[in-house]
Amino acid sequence: MIKPSEITSESDYLKRRDFIKKSAILVGAAWSGGLSLPASAKSPDYANDFPGLIKTPYGKGEKLTSFKDITTYNNFYEFGTDKKDPARTAVNFKTDPWSITVEGEANKTGTFHLEDIIKHAQIEERIYRFRCVEAWSMVVPWVGFSLAEMLKRFEPTSKAKYVAFETLYDPQQMPGQRRRVLDWPYRDGLRMDEAMNPLCFMATGIYGQHMPNQNGAPIRLVVPWKYGFKNIKSIVKIKFTEHQPVCTWNVTSAKEYGFYSNVNPHVDHPRWSQASERVLGAKFWEPKTKTRMFNGYASQVAHLYKGMDLTRFF
C-alpha cells in the first residue's frame, strides 16, 4: 500500500494548487486541468502552459494536423456519439482536482493526486500519428510523459501480466453516459510488455498546452501503433492484473474490435477496409494514403507480436 508519507496533505495540496495557478513556472507540476477550448479556437502559442517543455525527435518532419481539427473532430462517446459533440458538451467538464486509483498486483497501490503522479516526470512533446479505425488519421504534438516510467513507480509484481485502465464514470458531467451506447465506465488494457514499450505515453496536453476536455483531459493514454479507441481518455483507475482485462469495445463487438487492436492494413474491419486512410483536414479530392503496418511504428513494436497470428489476434 502507499505510505502515508507519500500522500500530499490537503492543506499542502491546496497551497500548491494556488501557487501553480499564480506562477505557472513549475514544469513537474505544470497541470491545472479544466481547460476547455471553443470549437473556433486558433492554434495556441507554443509552450504557453509548459515553459520547460522538452522537444523530442519523435515524428520529426511530420506535417502536423491543425489545432482546430484536432480539437473539433473527436471520438469521445462519454460526451456524445457525433464527432462534433465533445467540443460542445465537454466545455464545463471539471478536471481539477483529479485523482487516479492504482490497484492490483503492485507493491504501491492507493489513490494518488494527479500532481503527485507527474511531479517527478520528465515532461516531453512527442509527435505521433494517430489512426482511427474509421480510416482517418491525424498527426498530433502530444505533451506528457512516459507510461513505463510512471508504471515502474508503482512497483508491479511478477504476477502483473497486464495493466488495465478505466475512464471516469460521471453521467452528470458526461451526458453521453446517460445512454447505454456502451457498457460504462469505459475500460481498456495492454499487456505489460506493450505498456512498457518506450513509445507508450501518458498525455496531459497537445500543442504545448493543457489537454482540452474533448481530447481526454486531464490525462489520457497514447499508444501510437494501435487504433484510437485503445487510447483511453480521462483515466481515473489503473489496475495491474494477472489476467487479460475487459476492454469496452472488445466486449461490445468482439468480431469487430480485438483485444490487441494494432493498426494492420491486412485485417479489415467487417464493415470497411483498413488498407488506406485520409489525413484529417485533407481536401476530399486528395487521394487517401496507404495504411502502414503498426501505423508506421513496426521497427519499434513488431517484436512484441513475433510468432502471433495477427489475423486471429487482431
User: In this predicted model, what pLDDT tens digit does every residue of 109-145 receive, in sequence order?
Assistant: 999 999 999 888 999 999 999 999 999 999 999 999 9
Alpha carbons 232 and 216: distance in angstroms, whole number: 8
CATH code for residues 4-257 = 3.90.420.10
| Residue carrying the nine cell digits 495557478 | 21
| Residue carrying the nine cell digits 468480431 | 255
Three-state SS sequence of the chain: CCCHHHCCCHHHHHHHHHHHHHHCCCCCCCCCCCCCCCCCCCCCCCCCCCCCCEECCCCCCCCCCCHHHHHHCCCCHHHCCCCCHHHHHCCCCCCCCCEEEEEECECCCEEEEHHHHHCCCCCEEEEEEEECCCCEEEEEEEEEEEHHHHHHHCCECCCCCEEEEEECCCCCCCHHHHCCCCCCCCEEEEEHHHHCCCCCEEEEEECCEECCHHHCCCCEEECCCECHHHCCCCEEEEEEECCCCCCHHHHHCCCCCCCCCECCCCCCECCECCCEEEECCCCCCCCCEECCHHHHCHHHHHHHHCCCCCCCCC
User: In this predicted model, what pLDDT tens digit does every residue of 22-79 receive, in sequence order?
Assistant: 333 222 333 333 333 333 344 555 556 888 899 999 999 999 999 999 999 999 999 9
Alpha carbons 209 and 24: distance in angstroms, whole number: 12
> So where are the chain's domains?
4-257
User: In this predicted model, what pLDDT tens digit does every residue of 135-171 receive, in sequence order?
Assistant: 999 999 999 999 999 999 999 999 999 999 999 999 9
